[in-house]
Structure 1
Amino acid sequence: MNACTYSDKEVNIIANRKEVAKLAGVSEATVSRVFNNSGPLREETKRKVLQAAKELNYHPNAIAQSFARGKSNNIGVIVPYLPKVNLMSTYYFSELLNGIGTKLGEFGYGLLLLFQQANEPKDYVKLFLSQRVDGCIILGSKNIPGEVAALENLHQLNLPYCLVNQSFSGYSFHSIDADHINGSFQAVSSLLNKGHKQIIFLNGPMEYSNSVERLKGYEKAITKAGIPLNEKLLFQGNYSRKSGFQAAIHIGPLLENCQAIFTANDRMAIGLMQGLSSLGYLAGDDYSLIGYDDSDLSTMTSPPLSTVNVPLFEMGQLAAEKVLQLASTDDKTEIHECLPVSLIERASSLNKIKRFKV
């Protein structure tokens, strides 16, 4: 758009406002106050202005209105920048963003997607100072010093924000989460109930609270079964399919004695399936496998992948709803919501153990 075209549009907005003011018999400032709902106004004056606007088919400029109110009508959604990864093709992020966008749209708000580099200093407050957003939702936050300090600053200033799928022990940051301890417990208990005594666990990075919680659920199920924790069965990936594939070279040799695997997300589970298949091991036949998230790909694998369903879309919706509440009221009640999860059993984990060595 060139400068001349922009200028012409501005002139049309002003002319329309002048016409409304003239027809209603009021000043342009009064017309602005009516549409911005600011300042004391008599009902009769409001009625005249709205009637004149209707007759002239006048629609105020939404951007100009937002600046006048000090509002952007945008909620910023902060996501980590992942090189060579299309976030919208990733089930986890696409479901969260769809939920957030759907709820924001219901209230006439836009979603402003903000990517944050891994080495970029964390400063969420500057988004509010620049008036780019009226609130923010933070995805993919990590329990690292710079992140905690930035969130503390955000929280102490009572700015509207919410974390999704991440919590920080010892802090009361606003958050929407899922019951990952119980989800992990359900998955591991299901494998134990099928006779498996030694269960391999491929987890994600421990700076994510959901990785910590999944480990707690794993340990809880193992302990309840009276089985000593074997740290040699614990592995760590980075939630990518590639890290699951690479883990196969270490996990494959263990399958002679351990024929059950639990992974912290479906992407790693699928990568692991592919890696183990190249070594001659087939899921659902040579070993049982359970993933996590219930992604769209979990039903497309062969065999279909058992997994833990996480209501990501609903979590996104709830986070958007809570941030809008914080942005529109003076109520700063702390937000801590934890949604339930459920185990979905499919063919990859329905087999009984075939050859268990003591």
Structure 2
Amino acid sequence: MNPTIKDVANLAGVHPSTVSRVINNDSRISEKTKNKVLLIIKKLGYTPNAIARGLKTKRTHTLGMLIPDITNPFFAEIARGVEDAANKNNFNVILCNTDDKLKKERTYLEILRGKRVDGLILGTAHIKDKSILELEKKKFPYILVSRNIEGLDKNCIIVDDVEGGMMATEYLLKLGHRRIAHITGPLKIRSALNRLKGYKLALKKYEIDYRDELVGEGDFRIKGGYQVMKRFLKLNEPPTAIFAANDLLALGAMQAIQKKNFRIPEDFSVIGFNDIELASFVYPALTTIRQPMLEMGELAVKMLLRIIEEGEFNQRRVILQPKLIIRESCKK
């Protein structure tokens, strides 16, 4: 059985409230008493109950984070930024994976609030997301990262996905490609829609007709990119270049191309989005659009703590700029 605060108090010959004050570094406790209590805490292996302390202090120094796919390196990198920044501020992080399902999102939100987390960082938002609108209504501290939803124009950190989509497509156009395909992310997610919008705007700028057969919806996973690219390869007139809405989709497309013994970039040019670490290690190294993932995670914590500690609930919407990273997967 785990030792309790009363066990510590009995051995130290003090009241449990004195033990609590020692744990919270109360300056009113003498050095002699403090050292005695700390020695017994160490001897017993006593660990303070964070939730019980939170009931008194109304703080648990714990943040909840929801991501849609823990296997996606993009979200893993953001989570790393969140954890690093949280630890620097003496906060812990509980990480939950929703598989991009609203039902799991709702369940985890209930669990995390039951554990009395001080705030939430959410990378799971769909375009219409009642659970997040409910957080807004109840003024529960939250920050959206990488995604935002209809009806909310604050408390979020996103990259300029429209600009990024234009940047990727325009790079291929400048290389001379005119039949450019796009593998989108799930179109229930605003970032996927905005990258598609950027693709369309770039085509329009260069007076290239938009063609439905050159756009396929993926799932932000390697398998999704592979399946959509297989369909493109069966077209009577396949594309010469592919813009994938994230790097995993691009890797899947590359696999489908190479499996048919075509070459990249000689036969097909491929560009991704995110710049996960793996993008620079595949062959050929993937040209992509970089998002500042670590920075997004760190900034999310900074903004969330401003809400928690200073009550500044209406944080601005932060839009970060994407950057073209040219490697070896595209050619004239």
Per the TM alignment, residue 30 of structure 1 is displaced from its structure 2 partner at its CA by 6.8
Aligned amino acid, residue 151 of structure 2: G
Corresponding residue number in structure 2 for 1:109: 91
Give the Cα separation in 2 of the matches to 1:216 and 1:261.
Answer: 15
Corresponding residue number in structure 2 for 1:317: 298
Give the Cα separation in 1 of the matches to 2:96 and 2:239.
Answer: 43
Question: What secondary structure sits across from 2:147 in the alignment?
Answer: coil
The 5-angstrom pairing of residues 83-94 of structure 1 reads 87=70, 89-94=71-76
How far does the alpha carbon of each residue in 1:8-59 deviate from its partner, in whole angstroms, 9 at most, with x for none?
A: 443443237754x7xxxxxx6477468659xxxxxxxx65415344443637
- Give the number of equivalent residue pairs: 322
**Alignment match of 1:220 (pick from 195, 201, 206):** 201
Corresponding residue number in structure 1 for 2:44: none
Contact 2:12 2:36 in 1 (8 A): no
Contact 2:154 2:314 in 1 (8 A): no
Give the Cα separation in 2 of the matches to 1:121 and 1:313.
Answer: 23
Per the TM alignment, residue 345 of structure 1 is displaced from its structure 2 partner at its CA by 0.9
Give the Cα separation in 1 of the matches to 2:208 and 2:64.
Answer: 46
Contact 2:272 2:289 in 1 (8 A): yes
Contact 2:226 2:249 in 1 (8 A): yes
How far does the alpha carbon of each residue in 1:121-155 deviate from its partner, in whole angstroms, 9 at most, with x for none?
A: 726764565243111111222124xxx22212110
Contact 2:9 2:19 in 1 (8 A): no
Corresponding residue number in structure 2 for 1:14: 9
Contact 1:125 1:154 in 2 (8 A): no
Structure 1 residue 171 and structure 2 residue 152: aligned?
Answer: yes
The 5-angstrom pairing of residues 208-357 of structure 1 reads 208-254=189-235, 256=237, 258-349=239-330, 351-352=331-332
Name the TM-score, length of structure 2 as normaliser.
0.87
Give the Cα separation in 1 of the matches to 2:167 and 2:113.
Answer: 45
Per the TM alignment, residue 233 of structure 1 is displaced from its structure 2 partner at its CA by 1.1
Give the Cα separation in 2 of the matches to 1:156 and 1:50.
Answer: 46
Identical pairs, percent: 26
Per the TM alignment, residue 199 of structure 1 is displaced from its structure 2 partner at its CA by 0.9
Question: What secondary structure sits across from 2:182 in the alignment?
Answer: strand
Give the Cα separation in 2 of the matches to 1:214 and 1:13.
Answer: 58
Aligned amino acid, residue 53 of structure 2: Q
Name the TM-score, length of structure 1 as normaliser.
0.81
Alpha-carbon RMSD across the aligned residues, in angstroms, is 2.6
Give the Cα separation in 2 of the matches to 1:149 and 1:283.
Answer: 43
Per the TM alignment, residue 268 of structure 1 is displaced from its structure 2 partner at its CA by 1.1
Question: What secondary structure sits across from 1:326 in the alignment?
Answer: helix
Give the Cα separation in 1 of the matches to 2:184 and 2:276.
Answer: 17
Corresponding residue number in structure 2 for 1:41: none
Corresponding residue number in structure 2 for 1:56: 36
